[in-house]
Amino acid sequence: EPRNSMVRGAFVVVEGVDRAGKTTQVQRLCSKLYALGHNIKTIRFPDRVSTIGQMIGSYLQNETNMDDHVVHLLFSANRWEKAKWIEETLAKGYTIICDRYYYSGMVYSAAKNNPALSLEWAKQPDIGLPKPDVVIFLDLEPWQAEQRGGYGEEKYEKRELQQRVRELYLQLLNAPGGGMKVINAGDSMDAVEERIWNEVLPWVEMVEGGTYGAKVG
């Protein structure tokens, strides 16, 4: 059970290009926080378990094809399905570590060569979702990503698209109110782990301690 008198848990998002090591780093971050006695839950998007998530999964595996707008809205709907759970879980005092969020939604859709899908358009269906307290962006150049075993068979795992994805992430970083912390994911796993830790721990302590109240801007 969460410690009493806790205001709420922190909402931590880890973003990054494919092969940046998000999954490993999310696991390491969670176990370190857990070892310190924090109450932790993890979540990842896309969550491929729900009905909508299964539709997304089969699209990513190239089993089905969909209009770009349709799949974009499914990714967003997949987050909305979890929005209430996120709010309730934070309110109970759990800190949530979330592997990808709406930033992924924006950049992957906008990276398609479809002029109708601008970053601005792509953000609209996610407006109103719970706002993260801290967002980590694991940055890796496409050539480094490819050295990690090359891309697989899933949609989006192509060099040109990955390059555009990275450029769009960097654009978001520089946007006013972007608020993402960039970490070079090309270093050793231990070095990356430590940098993430140094960024995230103060936020978790601040939010759990009730000394931080975010207002959606």
Question: What backbone phi and psi angles, to 5 degrees, belong to 45?
Answer: -120, 135
Q: Which of 93, 105, 125, 142 binds ligand NYM (CB under 6 A)?
A: 105
Q: Is 46 in the site for ligand NYM (CB under 6 A)?
A: yes
The two tokens of residue 83 are: 């929005």
- Choose among 51, 124, 40, 61: nearest CA to 81: 51
CB of 63 to ligand NYM, least distance (A): 14
Q: Is 108 in the site for ligand NYM (CB under 6 A)?
A: yes
Q: Which stretch binds ligand NYM (CB under 6 A): 97-105, 138-146, 183-191, 198-206?
A: 97-105
Residue 95 contacts residue 9 (beta carbons within 8 Å): yes
CB of 72 to ligand NYM, least distance (A): 7
Q: Is 60 in the site for ligand NYM (CB under 6 A)?
A: yes
Nearer to ligand NYM, 18 or 193 (CB): 18
By rule CB under 6 A, what count of residues binds ligand NYM? 10
- The whole-angstrom separation of Cα 213 and Cα 207 is 7
Return the biggest CA–CA distance within the chain.
50
Q: Is 59 in the site for ligand NYM (CB under 6 A)?
A: no
Residue 90 contacts residue 13 (beta carbons within 8 Å): no
Q: Is 170 in the site for ligand NYM (CB under 6 A)?
A: no
Q: Which stretch binds ligand NYM (CB under 6 A): 103-111, 134-142, 167-175, 201-209?
A: 103-111
Q: Is 66 in the site for ligand NYM (CB under 6 A)?
A: no
Nearer to ligand NYM, 2 or 50 (CB): 50
List, in sequence order, every residue forming a beta bridge with 183; answer none if it has no partner.
138
Q: Is 104 in the site for ligand NYM (CB under 6 A)?
A: yes
List, in sequence order, every residue forming a beta bridge with 138; answer none if it has no partner.
16, 183
Residue 136 contacts residue 110 (beta carbons within 8 Å): no
- The whole-angstrom separation of Cα 22 and Cα 4 is 31
Residue 36: partners with Cβ closer than 8 Å, 6 or more residues away: none
Q: Is 151 in the site for ligand NYM (CB under 6 A)?
A: no
Q: Report the site for ligand NYM in 1-20 (rule: CB under 6 A).
A: 18
Nearer to ligand NYM, 38 or 79 (CB): 79
Q: Is 96 helix (H, G, I), strand (E, B) or coil?
A: strand
Return residues touching ligand NYM (CB under 6 A). Answer: 18, 45-46, 60, 75, 100, 104-105, 108, 156
